[in-house]
Amino acid sequence: MSSSTEHTAGLSGEAQHHLPDADLSVSSIFSMIRRGFSISSSALGSCEAGTPNAVRLLWLRSIGHDGSIAAPDNNADIWRTDVPEQYHLQAGDVLLSEVVTGRPKAAQVQEQDLPAAAVGSILVLRPASTLTAEHMRLVLAFLRSSAVGSHALGAFGRQRLRRRDVESFVLPEDDEALSAALAELDTAGRQLSVWSSEATDIAESVFDRGADTAEARQRIIEVGQLTRLRAEAAAQLDDFDYIVRTRFPYPIALRWRETEARMSAGDLGPAYDAVLETAEILLCYSALLTAALAHGASIELTAVAALRTKLVANRGGPGLGEWTAVLQEISGAKKRRTLSPDHPLHELGSLLGDEAASDARQRLAARRNDKSHLRPVDPVDLPSALQESFNDLSLLATRARFLADWPLIQVTSVVWDAFRGKASLSIRRLMGDHPVVPTSTMLHPSSAVETGSLYLADRDHRLYLLRPFLTGQICPTCRTWSTFHADKVGGELVLKSLEHGHYFPCSEETDAFRQVGLF
């Protein structure tokens, strides 16, 4: 969220920290704010649904906390023909609960909800102009927030929002990235709700065919199999090891799997080595992403220039120190000040951005240096050293959880459709601990995509070229598909694998390395 946006989703007065450049108060966005229709106790005007000029009455109970409006119910709804025209709702109107218990309710009226009129303790807000769906999503989320609810006044459990307070609320600015994140969360919530309903329906049908318990048990096992599998798969996502092993980019996921396997087998020495190597690959991969994205955004990193000096001067290839330097440099906000709020470099900058992560990184680096300089851990201390180092690795991996949302993809073909103005890409999503993955397709608004190259896909499906910082191909040594980065061995520029350390002379990428300032 931008600097002007992140403080405006608040209220006027003491709760407001920063005023936006444009007037985003409720009174400026909505041309009309009125209470719902005050219905009399008389049944005069009541009618059946479908009667000419009949209007369905919407009560506070008709609005869900999730922003939904209850579907028509012939047995429960009241329809009237005597509602004045000015109280008739229009598509796009926003309904806000005047009476608040906890968080307010807020919903937008859709065409399928009409004809209707709000009744009683509902405030109707009519937009002065059409808001984008993304902006309206943010407005509704704000109106349902506890910040708005805290302004409700009253006693004896009957708290109300005053119209003049509502008029002064400062609404959030339009933010496409935040709105998209809310939409994805809402979609996930609705899907989980559907699955929950399915499980309930299956359980309630247990004796629909009679009272034979053996038959009922078998039917529940068969019908409920998919529901159980969904629950088991979802439960695994509470296990962070499972997330890294299945959702992190291939180079990290593979190393993590080896660490898990070694630790579970009680191989203390190999497990300790695997932890340290996994930590280095986690930082290596993150630093390579940072260097590639910084180059694409025309951000000069001193740490990348220092890496070039090391490669050119035959002083060996990059190591943990160089990867750390890149990540530490991008953690400074100054380097990222020109980027859009949703650019991936912001999250990469947070990886080593706090003291706990920095301390964990330093401890792992010290252990890695001790191992490299033949200062091994005493066998007596090895169990505790293994656990401590794994705890530090887990902390860094937790800080890097955003990597699970950024697929590492290899583009295998590009087909441009001039009439649609889009390219159809065949891609391999290299996420999880195995390089053999199915090919899938995605649409892209540009044909300027390299076949065979690796890309980072962010949450909004934007693609960022990673070549030549990170490349992918079949390893000449082990014949396994692997990822590679520039290294120096014996004075020769080579490509070295993140997965297993194999390397081979680099020739084709030399010009590209020069263009990005690596050689």
Residues 184-215: pLDDT tens digits?
A: 778 777 777 777 877 777 777 777 666 567 77
Average pLDDT of the chain to the nearest whole number: 87
* Residue 6 pLDDT class (50, 70, 90 cuts): very low
Q: What is the pLDDT of residue 514?
A: 87
Q: What is the mean pLDDT of residues 125-132?
A: 90
Q: For residue 443, give the 3-state DSSP assignment.
A: strand
Share of the chain above pLDDT 70, in %: 92
Please, are residues 180 and 132 in contact by the beta-carbon 8 Å criterion?
Answer: no
Model confidence pLDDT, tens digit, residues 353-391: 899 999 999 999 999 999 988 899 999 999 999 999 999
- DSSP labels, 238-263: TSHHHHHHHHSBHHHHHHHHHHHHHH
Is the pTM higher than 0.85? The answer reads: no
pLDDT digit string (tens) for 315-349? Answer: 678 999 999 999 999 999 899 999 998 899 999 99
The pLDDT, as a whole number, for residue 11 is 42
Model pLDDT, residue 154: 73
Residue 468, preceding bond cis, omega within 30 degrees? yes
| pLDDT score recorded for residue 23 | 61
Quote the tokens at residue 298.
């025309």
Residues 6+ apart with CB under 8 A from 279: 361, 364, 368, 389, 392, 393, 396
Spatial neighbors of 223 by CB under 8 A, at least 6 apart, are 202, 205
Running DSSP on this structure, what letter comes out for residue 377? Answer: P
Q: Please state, in angstroms and rounded to a whole number, the distance separating the CA atoms of residues 56 and 35.
A: 16
Residue 372 is inside which H or E element, if any? helix 355-372
Q: Please, which residues have CB within 8 angstroms of residue 251's CB and are 6 or more apart in sequence? A: 281, 285, 483, 498, 499
| pLDDT tens-digit readout, 7-22 | 333 443 333 333 344 5
Q: From start to end of 44-137, where are the E strands?
A: 46-47, 55-58, 79-80, 94-97, 99-100, 106-108, 116-118, 122-127
